[in-house]
Amino acid sequence: MTVDNKTGKSSNGAEIELLQEEIRRLKKEKGAVILAHFYQKGEIQDVADYIGDSLALAQIAEKISEPVIVLCGVHFMGETAKILCPEKKVLIPDENAGCSLADSCDAKEFETFVKAHPDHTVISYVNTSAAVKALTDVVVTSSNARDIVETFDKDAKIIFGPDRNLGGYINSITGRNMLLWDGACHVHEQFSLEKIVELKKTYPDAKLLVHPECKRVIVMLADKVGSTAALLNYAKSSESKQFIVATESGILHQMRKACPEKEFIAAPPIDSTRGCNDCNYMKLNTLEKLRDCLRDGKPEIEVDKTIAERARKPIERMLELSKK
């Protein structure tokens, strides 16, 4: 099965459409709602009820009335939905869809770090396990990190975990000096400065769109730094016709759908033998697995009740602070 780079559509279109039809039928039959992150395969995004960034997915999950949520994304996103909606069944197509950034912050080690700084407020990126969120005062996503950090005094003592790149970026734009956990995402750390500079020679008018999980050198070159939703909105409203995109390749699907007249070029990774910027965890979810999980009602996301109760407060605090 080959995938068209421009449309994100598989060449095996008939098979895809059959699966999508089956998924739509099962979704109705089971009273389920499908939420998909922008990094999901295009064919999954096309069958979802809602597509969004991490913040939007949490905000939507909180408001859903159907009894079943299928979270097409990674495990921490499913956990967030389950913590916000404990009475609902939350399914994920592949239970091995983890996150290297969440994995870079072990809850026990984080607890030791937090206990060593008892006078600090703990701010955690949403890309964390429920156990880490349970040690946290307020959760943030890349959409609201700046605004939430700025609700604290400039000299407030803050721990920020686990992404050193996002934390460093927020420190630089807010003039804060938050203590950073040393974690990172393996997809966003791989973009090559040299190759982006080369690409800019071929596309001198292209705007560079960068997710703040990227390294500082890449962020410093950006025309726009933001969450997946912010990068998509920028691409829609910009008058530019070409964009180099330094984040996971799934976002190109919505960018190309929204702006068919514009050109989106995936920023190259350091090791080009890897081909593109796929998150191997996000891409574990497939249409077949989505169909099977709707049909079988599993794999289901479960969160320990005590941890879920403690993790719920900092997530709700984030949602409250994000209301406009």
* 128 sits near ligand 13P (criterion: CB under 6 A): no
- Tell the residue number behind the tokens 């005062």, with chain if given: 137
Smallest gap from residue 254 Cβ to ligand 13P (A):
12
Q: Which is nearer to ligand SF4, 58 or 185 (CB)?
A: 185
Q: Report residue 160 as tokens.
A: 């920020």
| Chosen from ligand SF4, ligand 13P, none, partner binding at 100 (C-beta under 5 to 8 Å by type) | ligand SF4
Smallest gap from residue 15 Cβ to ligand 13P (A):
29
Contacts to ligand 13P from residues 190-229, by CB under 6 A = 213, 227-228
Q: Is the bond preceding 162 in cis, omega lying within 30 degrees of 0?
A: yes
Smallest gap from residue 299 Cβ to ligand SF4 (A):
17
Q: Which residues bind ligand SF4 (CB under 6 A)?
A: 74, 99-101, 127, 185-188, 213, 248, 279, 281-282
Q: How far apart are CA 283 and CA 69, in angstroms?
A: 19
DSSP 207-257: EEEE-TTS-HHHHHH-SEE--HHHHHHHHHH-S-SEEEEES-TTHHHHHHH
Whether 54 contacts 212, CB under 8 Å = no
Could you tell me how many residues of this chain bind ligand 13P (CB under 6 A)? 9
Q: How far apart are CA 63 and CA 56, in angstroms?
A: 11
Q: How far apart are CA 265 and CA 240, in angstroms?
A: 13
Q: Which is nearer to ligand 13P, 19 or 219 (CB)?
A: 219
Q: Which residues contact 61 (CB under 8 A, 6 or more apart)?
A: 35, 69, 71, 80, 81, 84, 85
* 141 sits near ligand 13P (criterion: CB under 6 A): yes
Smallest gap from residue 129 Cβ to ligand SF4 (A):
12
Over the window 162 to 191, marking each residue x when it contacts ligand 13P by CB under 6 A and - when it does not, the resulting string is: -----------------------x------
The dihedral formed by the CA atoms of 24, 27, 28 and 33, expressed in degrees to the nearest 10: -110
Smallest gap from residue 185 Cβ to ligand SF4 (A):
3
* 254 sits near ligand 13P (criterion: CB under 6 A): no
* 142 sits near ligand 13P (criterion: CB under 6 A): yes
Smallest gap from residue 319 Cβ to ligand 13P (A):
14
